[in-house]
């Protein structure tokens, strides 16, 4: 490394700086994956006024749907909303030609929920967070 470059921890990163890194990695990956890039997916749950009160964020990429975030407030859990959000995302994945799903969850989050939906633990990482477990799960949609 030459002195013309500086390595620094950015404790308050700028969104544009973060986007530059993601963009660079996306371009690199596309150059090795026949030009394919993630196709983002947002499935929302809205109230009567149209306000987002929960939802799912993910992307289809290289034959997979990767669920990156699924969130519902406590008051809306257990009412079928999470199942509906997952079903919509899975159907969209199939429409996009992605018959498999990958997601991660922590031991204090929603492992039983995902298992009830047919997801299978692919791997577990102990002590992430300390005293807990991080699970990677997959599901074949077809």
pLDDT tens digits for range 42-55: 999 999 999 999 99
Query: Binning pLDDT at 50, 70 and 90, where does residue 8 land?
Result: very high
On average, the pLDDT of the chain sits at 96
From first CA to last CA, the distance across the chain in angstroms is 49
Nearest to 101 by CA among 50, 135, 61, 44: 61
> By the 8 A CB rule, do 96 and 106 touch?
no
> By the 8 A CB rule, do 64 and 113 touch?
no
pTM (2 d.p.): 0.90
DSSP annotation string for the chain: --TT------SS--HHHHHHHHHHHHHHHHHHTTT---EEEEEEEE-TT--EEEEEEEEEETTEEEEEEEE--GGGTTSSHHHHHHHHHHHHHHHTT--EEEEEEETTS-HHHHHHTT-EEEEEEETSSTTSEEEEEEEE--
What is the structure's pLDDT at 2?
Answer: 66
What fold, for 38-140? Aminopeptidase (3.40.630)
Query: For 22-40, what is the mean pLDDT?
Result: 95
pLDDT tens digits for range 67-115: 999 999 999 999 999 999 999 999 999 999 999 999 999 999 999 999 9
- Of the chain, the percentage scoring pLDDT greater than 70 comes to 99
What is the structure's pLDDT at 3?
Answer: 81
> Above 70 in pLDDT, residue 1?
no
Query: Binning pLDDT at 50, 70 and 90, where does residue 26 land?
Result: very high
């Amino acid at each position: 490394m030459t002195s013309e470059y500086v390595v620094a921890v950015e404790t308050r990163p700028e969104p544009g700086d973060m986007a530059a890194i993601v963009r660079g990695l996306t371009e690199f990956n596309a150059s090795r994956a026949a030009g394919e890039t993630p196709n983002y997916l947002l499935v929302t749950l809205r109230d009567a006024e149209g306000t987002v009160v929960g939802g799912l964020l993910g992307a289809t990429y290289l034959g997979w749907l990767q669920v990156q975030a699924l969130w519902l407030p406590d008051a809306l859990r257990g009412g079928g909303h999470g199942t509906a959000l997952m079903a919509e995302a899975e159907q969209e994945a199939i429409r996009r030609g992605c018959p498999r799903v990958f997601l991660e969850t922590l031991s204090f989050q929603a492992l039983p929920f995902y298992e009830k939906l047919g997801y299978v633990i692919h791997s577990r990482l102990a002590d992430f967070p300390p005293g807990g477990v991080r699970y990677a799960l997959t599901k074949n949609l077809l």
